[in-house]
Amino acid sequence: MNSRQPERSVPVVVLAGFLGSGKTTVLNHLLGNRGGTRIGVVVNDFGSIEIDAMSVAGQVGDSMVSIGGGCLCCAVDGSELDAYLEKLTAPAHRIDVIVIEASGLAEPQEMIRMLMANENPAVRYGGMAHVVDAAEFDATRARHPETDRHLAVADLVVLNKTDRVDAAERARIETALGALCAPGTPVIGADHGRIDPELLFDRRPWTETRGQLSFEDLLAEADDGGHDHRAHAHAAYESVEFTSDQGLSPRRLIDFLDRRPAGLYRIKGFVRFGVPGHEERYEVHAVGRFLRFVPGPWARGEPRRTRLVLIGSGIDGPGLLRELEACREEAPQDARPESMWGVLRYVPRGGPEEPEGGPADG
């Protein structure tokens, strides 16, 4: 494995959308429903970010704020982004995921290029979610013609404020988004920015918080009657789990991933291929149409098996499991190394044995 690849890299998720779309509301929802996850947030203006509610702990740098429960926020411009990502990924902060509110920092396309080209091995691009205001969809496109260009590079679209339009108008907008976005880009309906954080990043269980009583613990204790309002977002989604002690065929798995249905919003977990020269554990991360594999060593005593969780809406769970079952490979040790080339297209730059021309952006 390449020596530059760290034991743990932090995914960076880009949250885009024009003023008024509800992007900051989505961000605040993620911050308030993150479980034990330590989130780093990069924004231009703290104005609408609910820092006070997150119990500000104190200053940590020029424009970096430490928030109770482990969040960090930075106010930066694009030229400073690399430096702040380096600060956020310092081991001392133990950040699990970084969310960048792209508006005002740069065009989403430029932000994505910057992250894909970032040479910091502790950072990896985690996909771009674009927030759309359902009630102002046509007006936003007229006022900001670049909307179409932004939607074309989105990995996942959050159609926010669906409570302000009727079913027919929502269907019309979803049809228009289907034509503007790349094929297979999921569109998630939401009101008041409420989406399941698991669609964008892994949430740590509340029980994993350590040390003194945290802001998250106080929220949990204050919850009336033990009813967890934070869990409401989960009701809209289904999850399917797949495990296999047998190695998977890289070609058949890539074929499955390339044609995954639009309703499949998130795939996460680890894959065992067992192909000669590629016996590592491959972490897989998919948000919408974005896909990334990150190779790494198996932990001591860890069973060498594939473990995947698929999250979506309106998905055919049994059908997806049948397709994954068909990806099993009886004798992965007999597979030729070039069978991995499809997977290596989605390995971050600097990963092992990239085929000529380097990996695709996914």
The answer for residues whose C-beta is within 8 angstroms of residue 238's C-beta and 6 or more apart is 311, 312, 313, 314, 315, 317
d(CA 130, CA 108) in angstroms, rounded, equals 9
In this prediction, residue 72 carries a pLDDT of 52
Query: Which pLDDT score is estimated for 133?
Result: 94
- Nearest by Cα to 321 from 306, 300, 303, 340: 306
Query: Looking at residue 198, what is its pLDDT?
Result: 85
Average of per-residue pLDDT values in the chain: 77
Give the C-alpha separation, 331 to 339, whole Å.
13
Is pLDDT above 70 for 95?
yes
In this structure, what token pair is assigned to residue 335? 């597979």
Q: CA-CA distance, 147 to 133, in Å (whole number)?
A: 12
For the cut 70, the answer to whether the pLDDT of residue 244 exceeds it is yes
343, containing H or E segment: helix 341-344
- Supply 161's token pair: 């404020």
| Residue 334 one-letter amino acid | D
What tokens appear for 119 in the block? 């040479």
Band (pLDDT 50/70/90 cuts) for residue 71 is low
Mean pLDDT of 9-29: 85
Expressed in angstroms, the distance from the first to the final Cα of the chain is 21
Cα separation, 296 vs 246, whole angstroms? 18
Residue 123: pLDDT above 50?
yes
Q: What pLDDT is attached to residue 247?
A: 94
* pTM (predicted TM-score): 0.72
pLDDT of the residue at 158: 95
One-letter-per-residue 3-state SS of 216-240: HHHHHHHCHHHCCHHHHHHHHCEEE
The burial class, CB within 10 Å (0-12 / 13-18 / 19+), for 49 is: buried
DSSP assignment of 251-307, as one string?
Answer: HHHHHHHHT--TTEEEEEEEEE--BTTB-SEEEEEEETTEEEEEEEPPPTT----EE
Residue 306: pLDDT over 70? yes
Above 50 in pLDDT, residue 179?
yes
Confidence of residue 341 (pLDDT cuts 50, 70, 90): very high
- pLDDT digits 0-9 by tens, 198-208: 888 877 665 44
Residue 3, pLDDT > 60, answer no
Band (pLDDT 50/70/90 cuts) for residue 344 is very high
Look at residue 237 and tell me whether its pLDDT is greater than 80.
no
Mean local confidence (pLDDT), 220-235: 43
Q: How far apart are CA 332 and CA 165, in angstroms?
A: 51
Q: Is the pLDDT of residue 84 over 90?
A: no
Position with higher pLDDT, 44 vs 318: 318
pLDDT of residue 121: 87
**Cα of 226 vs its chain's centroid, Å:** 29
Instruction: Tell me which residue has tokens 């092992």.
Output: 352
**Higher-confidence position of 262 and 68:** 262
Amino acid at 33: N
Q: Report the percent of the chain where pLDDT is more than 90.
A: 36
Of 30-39, 125-134, 140-149, 293-302, the range with the lowest mean pLDDT is 30-39
**Cβ contacts of residue 62 below 8 Å, gap of 6+?**
none
Mean pLDDT of 72-82: 59
What percent of the chain shows pLDDT beyond 70?
73
For 334, the token pair is: 């007999």
